[in-house]
Amino acid sequence: MNRTRWLGLAIIAALTLSVAAQRTIGDTVVLKNGTVYRGTVDRDNTIYFIFDGLKRIVLRDSKIALPVKSDASLRSLEVFKLEQPLVVHTGAMPKEVVRVHAEPWNDRGRRMFEYLGSNVRKPVRMEQAINELGPYISKIRGVDGFWQGQVATNSISREVVLGLLARVQRDNVNERRRVYSFLVQAEWYPEAKLELERLVKDFPDLKDSVENARAAVAMLDASQIRAEIDLLRKAQRFAEAERRLKTFPDKDVSSELLNEVREVLRRSEADAAADTALAESLRQLSERLPEEVRKEWSSPLVEVLKALKEAPDAVRDRFEAFRKSNMDSSTTDSEKFALALSGFVVGQGAEVADLTAALGYWKARDLIRDYVSSETAEPRAEILEKLNAWAVPDEGGKAVSPKKLDLVTRLSRNMPPPLHESGLKPGAVRLRRVPDDQSEVPTEYAVCLPPEYHPLRSYPAIVALHSGDGPESAIAWWSAEAARHGYILIAPQYNLPGVAHDYHFTPSEHAAVELSLRDARKRFAIDSDRVFLGGQLNGGHMAWDYGLAHPDEFAGAVIISGLPIKYAARYLPHSERLPLYVVLGDLAPASNEVVFTSMVRPLIAKGYDVTYVEYLKRGLEELPEEAPDALEWMDHRGKREPYPKSFDVVTARESDNRFYGVVAREFTEGRTTSPAAAEPTGKNLNPASIKMKSSSLSNLLNFTIQGLKRYDIWVSPALIDFKKKFEIRINGKTRFKGAAPLSLEPLLEDLRIRADRQQTYWLKWVVE
């Protein structure tokens, strides 16, 4: 929950407009990554349990930054009891719920609800009613069937909630005060302002107290808008953030907050002015160059000026060397221009002050783009020959060196997506077909871009696995929060036509996800270090399975109502490097005794980055109200670790073949198990194992590999210094020692196939 909610509750307590006390949620838990949880806290040795009345959050104490604090002023929330006559008054809740379908709430606070228990064949259908309406949690009962539960109030449409609140006695001042307090506690500040206007109109004697409350809620509203501006800027929605800054309310807002907002706006306007000045200085600089030079650089200059106009935030850091050169009177115009234009394509740290060398950067970048975009081998061979002949600065005609590989890596990371598409509008959903998929049934995926998307920016992404209803349903589950936080959505169609829309744990399903992500990386500005996996129900089962089978692809996985069975049950230790956010209802099959107690809790106890969320009186269902917290969890995770200095993994399926640069080509007999033969607990698997430890001091990669006949080892400059001799040791034997046989082809081929520009390798070593 965000800071304005709790600020609002504190102010309400001081305003004396509140007259009811209900739910206790007084403890505050602040994590090291900035996440804040509130609820009653229990502790079992190193594990914390935080219960807020709706769900229980479980995590390790090592994730907590500050001591738990209790604040008695935040313990009371407004709750309205609603008259909802019941037909069935008593009964027993089901022990397990495996499927749920709930229709929207109507204006009477009722809905049709259907669930299927694990031990019955026929679904149970009933009408449900809201009998207690709170700003955070609302309690519900079955009307013509027995059910007792609760839902997040924000999962009920605001129109329905406001309609129910309007039913209070309009001439009862205490009830009307409680409505106002409810609205503030729910953080619905515009609605709270309207209610204050109605209060003073209906009860003129409240004018003075209402005026005080109006000032307080105006401050809360402004604080909420300020927080939303921060989120907009983080989501790279700079135009909308500036619009909000320019229209920021100033009535009844503290001078401190106004000054803060004005300073943000001032810096934003200063950046815009500096970007305009930079573009103009480049224009003027080009005009001072000889005519033949201007002609040669006309197209690159147009590209640079276009970038500074459309997405200056994404490229302004690339001109740092140019800015510094303007303070040095000895730097010539051509040198300044070279620093600016080379910095644009190669980024900070590799700029050159020579126009010929700078032009070489641009030509090399275009060759790299053409190589990774090419669909046939013949043009790639010609491009490779040209890149081999490219003379990088200070190295003359030397063909391939660590410096050339570094420049190719830099150029690839700073260029727009090689197959950039300009026709897809942000917010629109398009179904794409992977063109180079040679399967009998080509792979398709849905994609949705965030507002203000630009190919020069770098965006986090969610690979959304649908629950069985197709890619569009996965996009719908995530879209609102993904747009708020600035995430690209990719939803693969992993089901084959004519096959039941379940998850079958097959290599074919894994290939659909892999190919979709690779294709999307080529077309959209995805930061591969910030790609998350998410899924609900069938997609949740797959998120467990695919995420743990491919831990080096993701910064984390969000698993809603999914079960870790078959391979995932055996791959659980992979979560040491794959952060997990696991959400289940306590009525889901085996949720407590198996999933939490036997599988998830041991991971939390080990200190892995695993968070468990358990909803009270909920079964296996999509839980759409969890989307805001899931995105907040992603925002606080940071990036994946693409090159761990050591790792320890196992693999028992042919599709689970890539782990941090080790690619399995052939397993020894008995090491792989078909999905149909794999037991739910994974006990009958006999996986191959891969262990790696690196030493920067010895320039050594030391592998222990069992169960593989053939495999490739891809070597990254993040672990090995290619300027020195290095060693690859496998199962205690030295397999290579000396200077690296360098070539551009492995790097370029990996960029072409995987399109992962943040996890790159310079050397491929084949082991047979």
Which tens digits make up the pLDDT trace of 473-487?
999 999 999 999 999
Mean pLDDT across the chain, nearest whole number? 92
pLDDT of residue 393: 87
Q: Cα 199 to chain center, whole Å?
A: 43
- Return the DSSP state at 289: S
Which tens digits make up the pLDDT trace of 85-104?
999 999 999 999 999 999 99
- 610 pLDDT band, cuts 50/70/90, is very high
Q: 675 is written with which tokens?
A: 């999905």
CATH of residue 499: 3.40.50.1820
pTM: 0.93
> What mean pLDDT do residues 517-522 have?
96
The β-bridge relationship of strands 47-51 and 40-44 is: antiparallel
- Percent of the chain clearing pLDDT 90 (strictly above): 83
> What are the CA-CA distances from residue 632 to residues 44, 55, 226, 494 (Å)?
26, 16, 17, 27
Sign of CA dihedral 120, 125, 131, 132: positive
Same domain, 558 and 631: yes
* Look-up of token digits 């969000």: 558
pLDDT of residue 26: 66
Task: Look at 418-427, 520-529, 600-609 and tell me which has the smallest mean pLDDT.
Answer: 418-427
Q: 580 has which bridge partners?
A: 557, 610
- 445 pLDDT band, cuts 50/70/90, is very high
In whole angstroms, give the CA distance from residue 459 to residue 521: 11
Which tens digits make up the pLDDT trace of 726-756?
999 999 999 999 998 899 999 999 999 999 9
> What mean pLDDT do residues 527-556 have?
97
pLDDT of residue 8: 47
- 329 pLDDT band, cuts 50/70/90, is confident
Same domain, 290 and 214: no
Contacts 24+ apart (CB under 8 A), 346-353: 346/407, 346/410, 346/411, 346/414, 347/317, 347/318, 347/410, 347/413, 347/414, 348/317, 348/318, 348/320, 348/321, 349/410, 350/406, 350/407, 350/410, 351/321, 351/322, 352/393, 353/325
Same domain, 493 and 547: yes
Q: Is residue 93 part of a domain?
A: yes
- 72 pLDDT band, cuts 50/70/90, is low
* Final residue of a structural domain among 601, 635, 669: 635
Same domain, 181 and 122: no
Q: Cα 719 to chain center, whole Å?
A: 26
Q: Is residue 442 part of a domain?
A: yes
pLDDT of residue 412: 97
pLDDT of residue 28: 86
Same domain, 564 and 680: no
Same domain, 694 and 569: no
Closest CA to 463 of 506, 523, 518: 518
pLDDT of residue 280: 96
In whole angstroms, give the CA distance from residue 160 to residue 137: 15
* Final residue of a structural domain among 141, 161, 181: 161
pLDDT of residue 553: 97
pLDDT of residue 106: 97
Q: 18 is written with which tokens?
A: 């509140």
pLDDT of residue 752: 96
> What mean pLDDT do residues 42-47 have?
91
pLDDT of residue 19: 35
The β-bridge relationship of strands 556-560 and 580-585 is: parallel
Q: 186 is written with which tokens?
A: 């729910």
Same domain, 491 and 529: yes
In one-letter notation, the amino acid at residue 71 is: D
Q: What is the largest CA-CA distance in the chain?
A: 90
> What are the CA-CA distances from residue 594 to residues 540, 588, 589, 619, 625 (Å)?
16, 11, 9, 15, 25
- 396 pLDDT band, cuts 50/70/90, is low
- 75 pLDDT band, cuts 50/70/90, is low
Q: Is residue 41 part of a domain?
A: no
Q: 559 has which bridge partners?
A: 535, 582
Q: Cα 206 to chain center, whole Å?
A: 47
* Final residue of a structural domain among 367, 389, 414: 414
Write out the DSSP string of 58-123: EEEGGGB-S--EE-GGG-----EE-----S-------S-EEEEEEPPP-TTSEEEEEEEETT-SSP
Same domain, 537 and 403: no
Same domain, 731 and 757: yes
Q: Are 187 and 161 in contact (CB under 8 A)?
A: no
Note down the domain range covering 667.
646-767
State the number of CA atoms in the 13 A half-sphere of 158 facing the CB.
9
pLDDT of residue 9: 46
Left, alpha or beta for 323 (phi > 0: left; psi -120 to 50: alpha)? alpha
Sign of CA dihedral 507, 512, 515, 516: negative
- 22 pLDDT band, cuts 50/70/90, is very low
Q: Is residue 269 part of a domain?
A: no
Question: Does residue 345 surpass a pLDDT of 70?
Answer: yes
Helix (H, G, I), strand (E, B) or coil at 588: coil
Closest CA to 670 of 656, 685, 657, 683: 685
Q: 295 is written with which tokens?
A: 């002609």
Same domain, 367 and 441: no
Q: CB neighbours of 33 closer than 8 A, spacing ≥ 6?
A: 63, 636, 637, 638
> What mean pLDDT do residues 651-669 have?
96
Question: Does residue 175 surpass a pLDDT of 50?
Answer: yes
pLDDT of residue 34: 86
Question: Does residue 440 surpass a pLDDT of 90?
Answer: no
Question: Does residue 140 surpass a pLDDT of 50?
Answer: yes
In degrees and rounded to multiples of 5, residue 205 shows phi and psi of -65, -15
Closest CA to 278 of 332, 328, 238, 336: 336
Same domain, 297 and 404: yes
In whole angstroms, give the CA distance from residue 226 to residue 232: 10
Q: Is residue 419 part of a domain?
A: no
User: How many folded domains does the chain comprise?
Assistant: 5
Q: CB neighbours of 606 closer than 8 A, spacing ≥ 6?
A: 576
In whole angstroms, give the CA distance from residue 298 to residue 308: 15
Q: Is residue 271 part of a domain?
A: no
Helices and strands per DSSP (H, E), number in the chain:
21, 29
Q: Are 451 and 483 in contact (CB under 8 A)?
A: yes
- 435 pLDDT band, cuts 50/70/90, is confident
Closest CA to 558 of 455, 638, 630, 493: 630
Q: Is residue 684 part of a domain?
A: yes
Q: Is residue 512 part of a domain?
A: yes
Q: At what angle do helices 207-234 and 471-485 cross, to 10 degrees?
A: 110
Same domain, 463 and 407: no
